[in-house]
Structure 1
Amino acid sequence: MSNNPTYSRSQYFAVGVTFSMLLATSLLRASEIDFVRDIAPILQNRCWDCHGKDEQESGLRLDLRIRMLRGGDSGLSTVVPGEPEKSYLIEVINHVDEDMAMPPDEDKLPAEEIELLTQWVKQGANWPGQMDVLVEEESDHWSFQPVSRPQVPRRKVAKDQTNLDAVADSSVKIREVMNNPIDEFLLETLAQHDLSFSQPAGPRSLIRRASIVLTGIAPTPEESADFVDAYAIDSEQAYAALVDRLIASQHFGERWAQHWLDVIRWAETNGSEANLYRKNAWIYRDYVVRAFNEDKPYNQFVSEQIAGDSLGAGEATGFLVAGPHVPAATVGREPTAIRQARADRMDEIIQTVGASMMGVTMGCARCHNHKFDPITITDYYSMTGVFQDVEFGARFPEFATEHPRRQRGDALWKEIAQQRRVLREIGDWEEDWGAYREMHFKPITTKAIRVRFKMENLGLDELEVFGTANPNENLAHMRRGTKVTGFPQEGVDGRNPIGRVNDGEFGTMAWRAKSTKDSDDPSWVRFDFERPESISRLRMSSNREYFYDTDYLDKKPYLPRYEYSLDVLKDDGTWQSWLGTWHVNTQLDKQHPERKTALSEIQSAIETLAEEGPQPSFVGRFVQPEMTYVLHRGSPENPRDEVIPAGPAIFDGDLNLASTDSGAKRRAQFAKWISSPQNPLTARVMVNRLWHHVFGTGIVPTTSDFGKAGALPSHPKLLDWLAAEFVEPSVVFRSSAFAMCEGDMSEGDIVEETGSLQPWSVKHVIRLLVMSNAFRQSSTPTTEGVTKDASSALLWRFPPKRVEAEVIRDSILQASGSLDHTIGGRSYRIHNEKKVYAQWEVVSNHGPETYRRMLYQERMRRVDDQMFTAFDFPDCGQVRARRPVSTTPLQALNLMNSDFVMEQSQLIASRAKKESDDDLRLSIGRCFELLLMRQPEPDELEACKDLAQQTSLALVCRALMNTNEFAFLP
């Protein structure tokens, strides 16, 4: 074997540059370099035609020193003063990489010119007249500017039209009672186009619109009738009460959680070739539902999803691993493939954070500086540095003490501890935790242990050792300095080395050994601790990752019953046998009947704990963060300069972090930065997203791209007012009156029963939107409006839109009386169990076990659910900040002939008959009420009567489901 050291390409280049500079000392002295005499002519003759004032190929300009320091699209500094080995200019003129050689081909600079440039850089890249210019990222783009609350255009309301005395008892000083500020902004813009709002919508349209927008479920006929009656008496009071009831509904959180899950591409499979199921990923979905229902302040919502493990909301970090990924088993063992897969997983995290919280296409800067926005490749990799400790996988979520799962888990652990005390008096025992087996034995202090196996086929992804001082600390982990040796050292065929048993990594990368059962040379593992340790437990697993991360495979991860003996090293250097595999000891059970009972109690508690307490969930796992480097052209094989964890420089993203800081600290600092009121994007992006889901199109139509490539806002002042109101609310609700408040409001101050001044309140902003006259106006088109604003972007009418797949399905279930309103829990299953590399197949997408809201349906990537995929239900492979709306024949076919519709139409018809005493006319009317919230017109009634007599009432129901009235928001 050669003893010659190996070098990376960058190291070879550095050596080469150093060597060339040494040679040049005989030809050229550094003191002789003069920019005007020696350097300017080279740049002018060789570079400025393509990289000068008039043209900058690849975004690179070489006629200004400041632009040299910043670099071009590659993101690498063209010149690093004093360090030619780090200067991209010196690399490209030396033709180190022929693909990036400059000048290209045979136009390479003469050696003497290369040497002049190299010496100039080494000397400090002195450029007279340009030495004091600083490199600063700046942009005048509207969304990158601080949020400033604009003045509301006001049309004052007469005092006799308001109920001022109703708010007189409030501790808040009322400055002025006015119209909804949203209406004022919109009317100001409409007036500039000689337009105004349309007539108010009717009460039936209004309750259906509000119910679907706020909860995703159409109202019942009874709710609709009650609202119509109340509306006739006092329309303002009736509508305000309706909005309050819907926002307080537990279904509100389900509706708005679905919108958030679309943006972050959340699904329950990883989307790779194997497309494996993500076990208990639904824990995160339920967190999002609760957050919206509880009106968790948005800045807290954001922070918990970035750093929930430090904030008592560990399930929230499912956000970070919501996107697709390729699991280790699919990646294989080639080091370059492993590095590339890791880089791809980091990119998925950056895409999720960028699209959902920042509204910036951060992924565009992975290989080069962003083409449109002032986001550099350095910014991109600095941001990956924030999340270097995040890995796609499962862990036990960290819960606050008041969390129900934490409390249930604590109670079950007490039961387990009680039974362990019984067993400890008797002897050794084994527990089966599904993912691993754990052997308990009498404590012993030793500096080394040896585990000898009596098995023909052995696989260990991890062998852990625990003691008495810190029961949760793995004493065998390599990071503690524990040394591991064993036989066979390199595993089976030299591909499964012994080092894998204490590297802290679970999964397919295991130590594997083979031997005959009675072999004289059995497999063994030895751990040498840095100091004597008191030990009392061994924990072994063969593929813990599969058990924690995935499920619904027809062949479950195999957990063998390990056969082994444990030896401990004595002070005199000899081995003492301490434990043999006698966990199934019938003789001991006979002597101590309580042993068998205690073991049974423990195993029962373990099973209950896995279901009701904290459980391994696919919300990400944490690893030791490594140094972060800029990857040239996005390749992990071309690492360049080290970067520290930070946000983008254009947004003052310095987090005061170092590369030695823990992953938890990095994410906590980033969470604090991104959720700050001073961040120009966070509030703007979220209020625009809320507007999009209320009105169908955002004020900024490109809801996840607020950069230069995104669309401009239709109402920029209104957007900034909403963003400011989101962070620091000032509007008090009182029926139709809106009051602006003076003075500082402390968090949690409640004003009247209908309004809250809690900062960052999502419900507050949504209430503002749906209480506006803009939301309550008719959707009927007018000739003047269509002529001047065909897309209704100015909101001269409420823009009609087709409802989402979930609304169609849930409203059908509601009509039949089948909808299960249970909130949260495991997803209902519609797919098969499969082999690892097989595809998921829909087994049954209808039936009583599926009668929950569609939010709770198993969400598999790359799988057609055989009905609602046709209605643009997202695949979750790409960010869906706004769903496409298509019209295809498959939609009508599904709403006419699918098993689900056939089943539900029969149930709706049966319900209608039962509730109408089997009178056909009344039954038809009831079908209209259940599906369309109204009675049929006379001609409709006659047509449906003929159809029902010729076929069935169920077919009438199917016809109603296919109407635009059912599928569109009025």
Structure 2
Amino acid sequence: MRTTKLILLAIMFSFMGAVGEAEASDIDFQRDIEPIFEDHCLHCHGEDEQESGFRLDRRVSLLRGGDYGQRAVVPGDVQNSYLIDVVTHADADMAMPPDDDKLSDEQIDLLKRWIEQGAIWPGQMDEVAEEEVEHWAFLPLKSEFDHQTIDDFLTEKLTQSGLAYNAPADARSLIRRASIVLTGLAPTPERTETFRTSFAANADVAYAELVDELLASPHFGERWAQHWLDVIRWAETNGSESNLYRKNAWLYRDYVVRAFNEDKPYDQFVREQLAGDLMGAGDATGFLVSGPHVPAATVGQEESAIRQARADRLDEVLQTVGASVMGVTIGCARCHNHKFDPFSIQDYYSMTAVFQDIEFGSRYPELSDDHPRMKRKVELQKQLHALRKQMLKPGWGWVEDWQGYQEVRFPPKTVDAIRISFDNRWVQADEIEIMEAGKQNRNVAKPEFGTVVTDNPATHVEGQPISRLVDGVFGTKGWRGKSPPKSKTLPWLQFQFTEPVNVDAIRISSNREDFYETDYLEGMNKSQYGEFKIEARDAEGNWKPFSSTAAMKKKTAQDDQRQQLQAEIQSVITDLLVEGPQPAFLAQFVEPVETFVFSRGSPESPRDRVFASAPKLLDGNLGIEPDAAGPMRRKALGDWLVNPDNPLTPRVASNRIWHHIFGTGIVSTPSDFGKAGALPSHPKLLDWLASQFVDSGWSVKEMVRMIVMSEAFRQSSAPREDGLEADASAVLLWRFPPRRVEAEVIRDSMLLASGRLDESIGGPSYRIHNVKKRYAQWEVVDNSSDETWRRMLYQERMRRVDDRIFTAFDFPDCGQIRAKRPVSTTPLQALNLMNSDFVVSQSELLALRAKDEAGEAVNDQIVRCFELLLCRQPSQDELEAAIEFCKSQELALLCRTLINTNEFAFLP
């Protein structure tokens, strides 16, 4: 018996030793790992089938991962190997194999040890995944061409299809076409008649002079700016539940207008919009924050919601850059590798790393010294300084209203501490600054100076940290003080300095964020702290007031001079706020944080860290250090985008110009050059145009001129039976494709015809909406009075608001990218062009103009109406019908009828 027990113990210890030895030994792939893959994985993730684009029969596939872009295996790093999350069911949404077939703990342990030991796979250790760029849009531009003119490329394809160009367009059609395409405005009757005369004498010379005239017009920039604003869905509200107005966002719109009018080289245009803060063009960065966003107050204070909102805002930036400049849907790689194009989820987050210093918000733009606003600022600040000196000479104090904050000024006083004692029982402030005398904008209340801030313990409100008053963050997350019920104790704030300082001003605000960010809200910039006294300690240590806002504002018979100076100071400040540099919604800059790939797009699942770069397969190395500053990242991406070796940017830009001239691009999906987009109808021509664009110094005007000077653009739009049968949509351009003009052209042409169009360029948008409560909706209150008679480009652009007239004509909501506007035909369009207040008023003004210019004869008045609206005289039949019509109806109703004709609303 004893012998038997000894034998059993010996066997047991021997077995345990073997197990221990096996656990310590190296993992053999064929013995330990391959059977797991074969039994549990390869039927769904093998050579024949790859669910979610994931293969487990090749080591290189494990290293790369599937469609979700997570590396399944990171040799030596179990924690970052997504395969372990999947097989342990740590990721419940991707638990594999399913519960019934879940791997055993022993099998999972083998996989972990295999990864720890380097994921050795005999015979496959040197295998590298080679991905080639095969899609036409990502290949280099061709450098040799069989043709050297647009018409030669087009006629080659037309000949192959048995087609040819139409006859040349007549003079009237050509000037109307060119004028609207280049400036968005129809020609005047007088300019049309002059052109017809010169065209009859020498068509080529007359047309070339017309094109040069239109390219030089300041209205060229307005027309082409609108095209760009469509693509980036620029608007003046954020589009969220509150849909707040974006203060002075129009500064970016005006930048775009100037850029096109000055023919700013397109490569510089792109660079400035990404990094204009480094280039003296701070108003250009409005491009980056042109998309919609949800403001912080709407997001709330839940940390996960804040992270999600931040990720959404960065996605808006990438959508803008991808659609407008690159012509790709890079946003499709946010949750997984792009389904069609060679963009991985790592590419997506590497591009978000470029923009980590960008936040949606306002700032004072970086403007060059010769900018008109900077020059005006210098003038007004000199006036302000002189007036302040006059106030200080007799020892007066005063209050300046800077809209978003109050600045209380007083004769300089040296103190080691200051107390602000409020007169109200309940106060709220978001920021307080104490300005050192003689030091420009030196705020000694900042924590960096060692200043200690305290409040009255008896009025302290829990959850309202005093540190918020000096953190430089404006908005609703501030500080509050509240007196206890039935108590006479009032709130106060105390600032203790590390050493005596000479101070002369205090700035205080309740919600300065509104001043920087928004406008047109009821009760905006309202003070929620009331009057207060500024106190210092006397020799005995008692707090004594030396300045009081109530006393400063009190009017007495003895201080007429003080009140007059106070009014003059406020007048200069008002001018400075309007005419000088202004806070504008052009992006805020923040300190970049580390960037991680978010598993399936969730900020709650960060995985691999990535650094700023463009897509890998497009040679996206930006040549910067991993910890490069935010502006340098954006500048590097701008340089990469317009590098002549990057084929996407010139192709996309050239195609977009072609699209706006002919109505359809050579690639009919202007913002999607990927595999899901359309193939080019004339690929060789597109490459030739792109090459010409770069060679011209990226001149948009040169490209436009070359295209509109072609025979293709100058031909008639008349239909032909052979053309309609072979190519009904005129993709091959056997005729100029007629199309309905945009909403802006219809509206602006009516104002032009009535003689009431205000042609001034730039400036704040004209208002058509109400002043609203924070979470109320914008309402259109006036879009027909004379204050609104500017070009529609300058109409206040609110997201999610129907303007009640021209939205019916496919005017974009600006919530989605509109690289190509849809063209619909609905009864509402005719109803609006017949009965809306705007059309009725403009028709009446048009009739008055016709009567004034043509005299008393109805026949002459009718002829003038035709000339003003259609740039031609009526035929005899039209004239007779119009005369009969006007016997029973007003001339204004005839104008409304002409406005409703296809001839007025279509490009010939």
- Under TM normalisation by the shorter chain, which class is it? over 0.9
> The residue matched to 1:673 in structure 2 has which SS?
helix
Match of 1:6 in 2: none
Shift of 1:134: 4.0
Q: Per-residue CA shift, 1:773-804, capped at 9, x if unaligned? A: 11001111212111211111111111111100
Q: Given residue 759 of structure 2, which amino acid in structure 1 is its aligned partner?
A: H
**Structure 1 35/576 Cα, relative in aligned 2: closer, same or farther at 3 Å?**
farther
Match of 2:334 in 1: 366
**Structure 1 918/606 Cα, relative in aligned 2: closer, same or farther at 3 Å?**
same
Query: After superposition, where does 1:647-658 map in structure 2 within 5 Å?
Result: 647-658=614-625
Match of 2:13 in 1: none
Query: After superposition, where does 1:909-928 map in structure 2 within 5 Å?
Result: 909-928=847-866
Match of residue 271, structure 1, among 239, 244, 253? 239
Match of residue 238, structure 1, among 180, 189, 206? 206
Match of 1:165 in 2: none
Q: Kindly indicate whether the alpha-carbon contact (under 8 Å) linking 2:54 and 2:66 is maintained by their aligned counterparts in 1.
A: yes
Q: Given residue 408 of structure 2, which amino acid in structure 1 is its aligned partner?
A: M
2:223 is the alignment partner of 1:285:
no
Match of 1:221 in 2: 189
Match of 1:747 in 2: none
Q: Per-residue CA shift, 1:582-607, capped at 9, x if unaligned? A: 57348999998765444333221110
2:121 is the alignment partner of 1:127:
yes
Match of 2:612 in 1: 645
Query: After superposition, where does 1:578-589 map in structure 2 within 5 Å?
Result: 579-582=546-549, 584-585=551-552
Match of residue 472, structure 1, among 441, 444, 449? 441
Shift of 1:234: 0.6
> The residue matched to 1:822 in structure 2 has which SS?
coil
Shift of 1:555: 2.5
**Structure 1 522/146 Cα, relative in aligned 2: closer, same or farther at 3 Å?**
farther
2:348 is the alignment partner of 1:380:
yes
> The residue matched to 1:904 in structure 2 has which SS?
helix
CA separation in 1, counterparts of 2:498 and 2:66?
Answer: 50
Match of 1:692 in 2: 659
2:828 is the alignment partner of 1:834:
no
2:425 is the alignment partner of 1:456:
yes
2:24 is the alignment partner of 1:86:
no
Q: Given residue 647 of structure 1, which amino acid in structure 2 is its aligned partner?
A: A
2:811 is the alignment partner of 1:844:
no
> The residue matched to 1:538 in structure 2 has which SS?
strand
> The residue matched to 2:551 in structure 1 has which SS?
coil
Query: After superposition, where does 1:692-731 map in structure 2 within 5 Å?
Result: 692-729=659-696
Q: Given residue 653 of structure 1, which amino acid in structure 2 is its aligned partner?
A: G
Q: Kindly indicate whether the alpha-carbon contact (under 8 Å) linking 2:537 and 2:544 is maintained by their aligned counterparts in 1.
A: no
Shift of 1:960: 1.2
**Structure 1 469/354 Cα, relative in aligned 2: closer, same or farther at 3 Å?**
farther
2:700 is the alignment partner of 1:762:
yes
Shift of 1:842: 1.5
Match of 2:53 in 1: 59
CA separation in 1, counterparts of 2:187 and 2:145?
Answer: 38
Greater CA drift, 496-505 or 830-839? 496-505
Q: Given residue 211 of structure 1, which amino acid in structure 2 is its aligned partner?
A: S
Match of residue 32, structure 1, among 6, 10, 26? 26
Query: After superposition, where does 1:145-294 map in structure 2 within 5 Å?
Result: 145-153=139-147, 181-294=149-262
Q: Kindly indicate whether the alpha-carbon contact (under 8 Å) linking 1:489 and 1:497 is maintained by their aligned counterparts in 2.
A: no
Shift of 1:690: 0.6
Match of 1:333 in 2: 301
Match of 2:406 in 1: 437
Match of 2:587 in 1: 620
Q: Provide the aligned C-alpha RMSD in A.
A: 2.7
CA separation in 1, counterparts of 2:412 and 2:31?
Answer: 80
Q: Given residue 832 of structure 1, which amino acid in structure 2 is its aligned partner?
A: N
CA separation in 2, counterparts of 1:680 and 1:623?
Answer: 32
Q: Kindly indicate whether the alpha-carbon contact (under 8 Å) linking 2:155 and 2:164 is maintained by their aligned counterparts in 1.
A: yes
CA separation in 2, counterparts of 1:532 and 1:139?
Answer: 67
Match of 2:12 in 1: none
Q: Given residue 388 of structure 1, which amino acid in structure 2 is its aligned partner?
A: Q
Greater CA drift, 258-267 or 652-661? 652-661
Query: After superposition, where does 1:452-601 map in structure 2 within 5 Å?
Result: 452-467=421-436, 471-477=440-446, 484-487=453-456, 492=461, 494-515=462-483, 522-526=490-494, 536-560=504-528, 562-565=530-533, 579-582=546-549, 584-585=551-552, 595-601=562-568
Q: Kindly indicate whether the alpha-carbon contact (under 8 Å) linking 1:491 and 1:497 is maintained by their aligned counterparts in 2.
A: no
Q: Per-residue CA shift, 1:79-131, capped at 9, x if unaligned? A: 11111001100111111122111112221111111111111111111222332
> The residue matched to 1:32 in structure 2 has which SS?
coil
Greater CA drift, 205-214 or 46-55? 46-55
Q: Given residue 608 of structure 1, which amino acid in structure 2 is its aligned partner?
A: D
**Structure 1 129/698 Cα, relative in aligned 2: closer, same or farther at 3 Å?**
same
Q: Kindly indicate whether the alpha-carbon contact (under 8 Å) linking 1:644 and 1:657 is maintained by their aligned counterparts in 2.
A: no
> The residue matched to 1:455 in structure 2 has which SS?
coil
2:335 is the alignment partner of 1:397:
no
Match of residue 144, structure 1, among 135, 138, 149? 138
Q: Kindly indicate whether the alpha-carbon contact (under 8 Å) linking 1:30 and 1:123 is maintained by their aligned counterparts in 2.
A: no
CA separation in 2, counterparts of 1:196 and 1:340?
Answer: 56
Q: Given residue 130 of structure 1, which amino acid in structure 2 is its aligned partner?
A: Q
Q: Given residue 367 of structure 1, which amino acid in structure 2 is its aligned partner?
A: C
Shift of 1:566: 5.1
> The residue matched to 1:275 in structure 2 has which SS?
coil
> The residue matched to 1:794 in structure 2 has which SS?
coil
2:8 is the alignment partner of 1:41:
no
CA separation in 2, counterparts of 1:143 and 1:129?
Answer: 36
**Structure 1 59/205 Cα, relative in aligned 2: closer, same or farther at 3 Å?**
same
CA separation in 1, counterparts of 2:417 and 2:624?
Answer: 39
CA separation in 1, counterparts of 2:458 and 2:632?
Answer: 37
Match of residue 821, structure 2, among 874, 883, 889? 883
Q: Kindly indicate whether the alpha-carbon contact (under 8 Å) linking 1:359 and 1:703 is maintained by their aligned counterparts in 2.
A: yes
> The residue matched to 2:289 in structure 1 has which SS?
coil
Match of 1:901 in 2: 839
> The residue matched to 1:852 in structure 2 has which SS?
coil
Q: Kindly indicate whether the alpha-carbon contact (under 8 Å) linking 2:398 and 2:552 is maintained by their aligned counterparts in 1.
A: no
CA separation in 1, counterparts of 2:255 and 2:543?
Answer: 51
Match of 2:10 in 1: none
Greater CA drift, 80-89 or 521-530? 521-530
Shift of 1:644: 1.8
Q: Kindly indicate whether the alpha-carbon contact (under 8 Å) linking 2:29 and 2:121 is maintained by their aligned counterparts in 1.
A: yes
Match of 1:167 in 2: none
**Structure 1 121/533 Cα, relative in aligned 2: closer, same or farther at 3 Å?**
farther
Match of 1:805 in 2: 743
**Structure 1 591/74 Cα, relative in aligned 2: closer, same or farther at 3 Å?**
same
TM-score (norm 1): 0.87
Q: Identify unmatched segments of 5+ residues in structure 1.
A: 1-23, 155-180, 730-758
Match of 2:896 in 1: 958
Q: Given residue 702 of structure 1, which amino acid in structure 2 is its aligned partner?
A: T
> The residue matched to 2:887 in structure 1 has which SS?
helix
Shift of 1:208: 0.3
Q: Kindly indicate whether the alpha-carbon contact (under 8 Å) linking 1:441 and 1:579 is maintained by their aligned counterparts in 2.
A: no
Shift of 1:653: 2.4
Shift of 1:532: 7.9
Match of 1:157 in 2: none
Q: Per-residue CA shift, 1:532-560, capped at 9, x if unaligned? A: 87655432111111122222223323124
Shift of 1:514: 1.0
Q: Given residue 884 of structure 2, which amino acid in structure 1 is its aligned partner?
A: D
CA separation in 2, counterparts of 1:949 and 1:25?
Answer: 110
Shift of 1:645: 2.2
Q: Per-residue CA shift, 1:629-653, capped at 9, x if unaligned? A: 2222222222222222222222222
**Structure 1 520/122 Cα, relative in aligned 2: closer, same or farther at 3 Å?**
farther
**Structure 1 505/949 Cα, relative in aligned 2: closer, same or farther at 3 Å?**
same
Q: Per-residue CA shift, 1:891-923, capped at 9, x if unaligned? A: 111111111111111222222222222222222
Greater CA drift, 214-223 or 329-338? 329-338
Identity score, percent: 59
Shift of 1:27: 7.2
Match of 2:380 in 1: 412
**Structure 1 774/575 Cα, relative in aligned 2: closer, same or farther at 3 Å?**
farther
Q: Kindly indicate whether the alpha-carbon contact (under 8 Å) linking 1:358 and 1:682 is maintained by their aligned counterparts in 2.
A: yes
> The residue matched to 1:201 in structure 2 has which SS?
coil
CA separation in 1, counterparts of 2:853 and 2:739?
Answer: 32
Match of 2:875 in 1: 937
CA separation in 1, counterparts of 2:649 and 2:343?
Answer: 16
CA separation in 2, counterparts of 1:149 and 1:528?
Answer: 71
TM-score (norm 2): 0.93
